[in-house]
Structures are given as structure tokens and as C-alpha cells.
Structure 1
Amino acid sequence: MKFGIAIPNCHGDYADIHLTTEVAHEAEEAGWDGFFVWDHIGDKWGDEVLDPWVMLTAMAMRTQRVKLGTMVTPVTRRRPWKLAREVATLDQLSNGRVILGVGSGGGIEYINYHEPGDVKTYGERMDEALELLSLLWSGERISYQGEYYQLENVRHLPRPVQQPRVPIWVGGVWPNHKPMRRAARWDGVCPIGKNVNMTGQMTPEQAQACFEYVASQQTADQADQPFAKVQWGRLDGKDRGYDTALVSNYAEVGVNWWIENLSWERGTLQELRSFIRQGPPR
């Protein structure tokens, strides 16, 4: 089991670039394996929003080992070629420590900014965008003609350190099947349970059902590749024995990445530093 921290890139002191960077350093020192940030550009929770890629770049400069990434990037409100450059550059800077979490997104970040498309086409656009990311990270010269994206005679260098690509983890609401079928084609799944709030989490039984469905959608070759099965979870933080037992229950159903979901609903980032400094329940 690997353990990560996920924090918002918005609201209160979560939008303090100096504090968030220092906390990422402290998380690595405490033994966490990953540090992830939300990817919002304009938010219903307030006007204080940091750019996630600048955040992650600052964190890369203050860490050596911990994995870094987004949970999750709404790919369809990004230009795939720009996102490809950002991720590849960060992977170079961090010496191959980037994980790209992706989702379809929606809401005010599309409506208020008059982003094109609609919820019925977000999934189709994301499938094309993910294919493009993988092609661009190959470093080969490519042309691409899709329904939503077109490229002609382009080559992206330098390649990411990680090959054949930076790992792509797909988020989605379980038990919706479409995002889980998408996840089966990539490198990991980050399910959020339907009607589970920001301080809750899916049960082991729900997680197991999700993972079994994803596995049923994979080819034999896909099933043989490393695959992240993420629990978007919440530890108690006070009873180490309880937390160890809780994590063990999820490990038994296949969870191999525990991402601790921190937000203002559990406290300010300053208040949660002591929890992070405890480290994960190995």
C-alpha cells in the first residue's frame, strides 16, 4: 500500500503557495508516498485559487522522492498539447515523479468561462485528449485527425522521463460505468462514491465492486500491467491501531494507493499539519 495526501488548490490557506509547498516537503519527510492537488481554475468555494501546475512545480523543487500530481485535471477544459507540455516538463523537473489524475469535470468552470461542449460530449473529448497526450509524450512526429482535436506534423521533445508515458489515473463517480471503462484502458482508477461527501469515503465493499468491474473491462495484456486502485479516504488520525486496521480492510479488496482527502471541511491546512507530520499508518 502506498499513501498520498490530496489538498485543494483553492480556499483559505490552501491557496497559500508558500504554505502548500512547505507542507509537501513535510509530507515527504513524514513518509507519505504522494502529494496531490486539485485542479480548479475558478471555483464555487471562493475566489482564492492557485494554479496547480505552478504549485506542483514549487513542490518538485522542495521534494526528492514523493510522487506529485493532480486529483483530478478536467482534461476537456484544457488544450491537450499545452497539458502535454506542462506534464512532460514537470516530469523532467521532478525526475519522473508525476502522476496525471484526470476527469471530465463540469459546473461553473465550464459555464462561467464559456468553455465549449456539453456534458454529453465531455467523455468523448476526453478520450481523444488522452490518446493525444500519449502520442505527444512518445516524442515521435505525429498528425492526428479526431472529431474534436486535430494536429498536423508536430513533435514534442523532450519526452517525459517516464516511458511509455506519465501514468494516467482516471477519476469518476461509482457506480457510473463509463468512467470506469475509460479507467480500464489507462493506468489507474480513482473512484468517488455517489453521494459520498468530502469527509466520507466509499466502503471496502463498494471499492471492491468498482475494481472488479474495471478488471472485467481490461484485456489480458492490460490486466498484466501495473494499475493503481485508489481509495479516496479518511483516516482517524488519533488512533493508530484503528487506522492500521482500516487500511488493512481496504488492502484486502485491492486498494494499493490510499489518498487522504484533506480540505477545509476537516480544518485549515495549518491545523492539519500535525496530522500530516504523523505520517501514514504503515
Structure 2
Amino acid sequence: MKFGLAIPNCHGDFSDIHLVAEVAHEAEEAGWDGFFLWDHIGDKWGDEVSDPWIMLAAIAMRTQRVNLGTMVTPMTRRRPWKLAREIATLDHLSNGRMILGAGSGGGIEYTNYHEPGDVKTYGERMDEALELLSSLWSGERISYEGQYYQIENVRHLPRPIQQPRIPIWIGGVWPNKKPMRRAARWDGVCPIGKGVGMTEQMTPGQVQACFDYIRSQQSPEQANNQDYARVQWGILDGKDHGYDAALVSAYAEVGVNWWIENLSWERGTLQELRSYIRQGPPQLA
């Protein structure tokens, strides 16, 4: 089991790039394995927003070991070729520690900015964008003619450090099946439960049903891949370490191999959460 933290890139001191980079350093020192940021540009979460990619660059310079990434990036709000360059550059800056959490996006972050498309096409556009990312990271010269994206005679170098590609984890709402079928084709899944609040989490039974469905969509080789990330978007107690260890073990039994602690202003300011982060993750037997 690996343990990560996910924090907003918005709202109050969560948008303070200096504080976030320092907290990421403290998280690494405390034994966490990953540090992830939300990817918002401005909506109901508040007006204080910092760009997650610039924040990740600052974090990469303050850490040496932890995996870094977004949880999750709305793919259809960004041009795939620009995103490919940004993430590949961060993979080099971090010496091969980047992970892309990807989702289809939507909501007032789209409509308020008059972004093109609608909920019926976001998934289709996302699928094209992911294929483009993977192809561009290959370092080969490519052309692509899709319904939503087209490029001609393009080569992206340098390749990312991680090959054959930077890991792509797909976010989606369970029990919706379409995002889980998408997740089955990539490198991991980070599901959230329908109707589950910011200080709640899916039960082990719900998680197992989600993972079982994903495995049913995979080849035996894919389903048995130990590197495939099965993420629990979790909530630890932070006070009773025995309880936390038992809780995580219950999720490990249903296949979770990455616990990502969901931190937000609903649980306090980032300054207030620093002592919790410094405790480090639970110690499992």
C-alpha cells in the first residue's frame, strides 16, 4: 500500500504556492508517497486559485521522492499538445515522478468560460486527448485526425523519463460504468462515489464492486498487473492510529494499493492540517 495526499489548488491558503511547496516537503519527510493537487481554474470552490502545473514545478523542486500529479485534470479544458509538453517537462524536472490523474470535466468551470462542447461529448474528447498524449510522449513523429483534435507531422522531444508513458489514472463517479471502462484501458483508477461528500468515502464493498467491474473489462494480463493503481479517495481519523491501520487494511483486502487522503477546507485550513500531515501515514503490519 502506498499513501498520498490530495489538496485543492484553490480556496484560502491552499492556493498559497509557497506554503503548498513547503507542506509537500514536510509530507515527504513524514513518509507519504505521493502529493497531488486538484486542477481547477475557478468555479464554486472560490476565487483564490493557483495554477496546479506551476505549483507542481515548485513542489518538484522541494521534494526528491514522492510521486506528483493532479487529481484530476479536466482533459477537455486543455489542449492535449500543450498538456503533453507541460507534463513531460515536469517529469524531467521531478526525475520521473509524475502521474496524470484525468477526468472528463464539466460544470460552471466550462460554461462560465464558454468552453466548447457539452456533457455528451466530453468523454469522447477526453478519449481522443488521452490517445494523443500517449502518442506524443512516444517521441515519434505523428499525425492525428480525430473528430475533435487534429495534428500534422508533429514530434515531441524530449520523451518523458517514464516509458512507455507517464502513468495515467482515470477519475470517475461510481457506479457510472463509462468512466470505469475508460479506466480499464489505462494505468489506474481513482473513483469517487456518487453522492459521497468531501468528508466521506466509498465503503470497501462499493470499492470492491468498482474494481471487479474494471477487471471484467480488462484482459487477464491487465487485470493481474500489480502496477495498476487502484486508488481509495480516503479519510483517515488521524488520532487513533490503530483504527486507521485497521481501516486501511480493510480497503487493502478489496484491492486498494494507493490510499490518497482527501484534504480540503472542510477539514481545516492547510496551516491547520500541517500537524496532521507531519504525523505521516498509518503503519501497517
Count how many residue pairs are aligned between Structure 1 and Structure 2: 282
In the other structure, the counterpart of 1:64 is 64
Give 1:6's aligned amino acid: A
Q: Share of identical aligned residues, percent? A: 83
C-alpha distance in 1, partners of 2:266/2:13?
13
Give 1:28's aligned amino acid: E
1:79 and 2:79 equivalent?
yes
C-alpha distance in 1, partners of 2:137/2:158?
8
In the other structure, the counterpart of 1:228 is 229
**Displacement of 1:219 after TM fit?**
1.6
TM-score, scaled to structure 2 = 0.98
C-alpha distance in 2, partners of 1:222/1:265?
37
C-alpha distance in 1, partners of 2:142/2:221?
25
C-alpha distance in 2, partners of 1:223/1:233?
23
For residues 155-207 of structure 1, what are the alpha-carbon distances to aligned partners after superposition, in whole Å with 9 as ceiling and x for unaligned?
00000000000000000000000000000000000000010000000000000
In the other structure, the counterpart of 2:152 is 152
For residues 207-266 of structure 1, what are the alpha-carbon distances to aligned partners after superposition, in whole Å with 9 as ceiling and x for unaligned?
000000000001233224320000000000000000000000000000000000000000
In the other structure, the counterpart of 1:31 is 31
1:3 and 2:3 equivalent?
yes
C-alpha distance in 2, partners of 1:137/1:48?
32
Contact preservation (8 Å) 1:43, 1:49: no
In the other structure, the counterpart of 1:281 is 282
Give 1:132's aligned amino acid: L
Q: How does 1:1-282 map to 2 (within 5 A)?
A: 1-225=1-225, 226-282=227-283
**Displacement of 1:42 after TM fit?**
1.2
Contact preservation (8 Å) 1:88, 1:137: yes
Give 1:189's aligned amino acid: V
**Displacement of 1:43 after TM fit?**
2.0
C-alpha distance in 1, partners of 2:26/2:43?
27
Contact preservation (8 Å) 1:138, 1:159: yes
Q: Gaps spanning 5+ residues in structure 2: where?
A: none
Contact preservation (8 Å) 1:230, 1:256: yes
**Displacement of 1:11 after TM fit?**
0.3
Give 1:149's aligned amino acid: Y
SS in 1 for 2:151: strand
C-alpha distance in 1, partners of 2:15/2:69?
17
**Displacement of 1:46 after TM fit?**
1.2
Give 1:264's aligned amino acid: W
TM-score, scaled to structure 1 = 0.99
Q: Gaps spanning 5+ residues in structure 1: where?
A: none
C-alpha distance in 2, partners of 1:16/1:95?
24
Deviates further, 164-173 or 216-225: 216-225
Contact preservation (8 Å) 1:2, 1:257: yes
